[in-house]
Amino acid sequence: MQSDNPTAAILVIGDEILSGRTREGNAHHLAQVLTATGIDLREIRVVSDDTDQIVAAVQALDSSLGGAYDLLFTSGGIGPTHDDITADAVAKAHGTRAEIDPEARALLQARCDRMGTELTPNRLRMARVPVGATLILNAVSAAPGFSIGNTHVMAGVPEVFRGMVDWLIPRLPVGRPVQSLSVEVRRGESEVAEDLLAVASEYADLSFGSYPFNDADGWGTNLVVRGLDEARVAEGMTVLKQRLGL
pLDDT tens digits, one per residue of 195-207: 999 999 999 999 9
* Domain 179-244: CATH class, spelled out: alpha beta
Ranges of beta strands (E only) in the chain are: 7-13, 40-47, 71-75, 98-100, 128-130, 134-136, 145-148, 151-154, 179-185, 207-215, 218-227
pLDDT at residue 217, rounded to an integer: 86
Strand, coil or helix: 46: strand
Give tens-digit pLDDT for 187-239: 999 999 999 999 999 999 999 999 999 998 889 999 999 999 999 999 999 99
Task: For CATH 3.40.980.10, list the domain ranges present in the chain.
Answer: 7-171
For residues 54-60, give the mean pLDDT: 98
Give tens-digit pLDDT for 123-144: 999 999 999 999 999 889 899 9
CATH topology of domain 7-171: Molybdenum Cofactor Biosythetic Enzyme; Chain A (3.40.980)
- Please name every residue paired with 13 in a beta bridge, in sequence order, or none if there are none: 47
Task: For CATH 3.30.70.2860, list the domain ranges present in the chain.
Answer: 179-244
Spatial contact of 138 and 144, defined as CB atoms under 8 Å apart? yes
Report field, pTM of the whole predicted structure over 0.75: yes
pLDDT at residue 139, rounded to an integer: 84
| Percent of the chain whose pLDDT exceeds 90 | 93
| Residues near 41 by beta carbon (within 8 Å), at least 6 away in sequence | 7, 8, 9, 10, 30, 31, 34, 35
Give tens-digit pLDDT for 5-49: 999 999 999 999 999 999 999 999 999 999 999 999 999 999 999
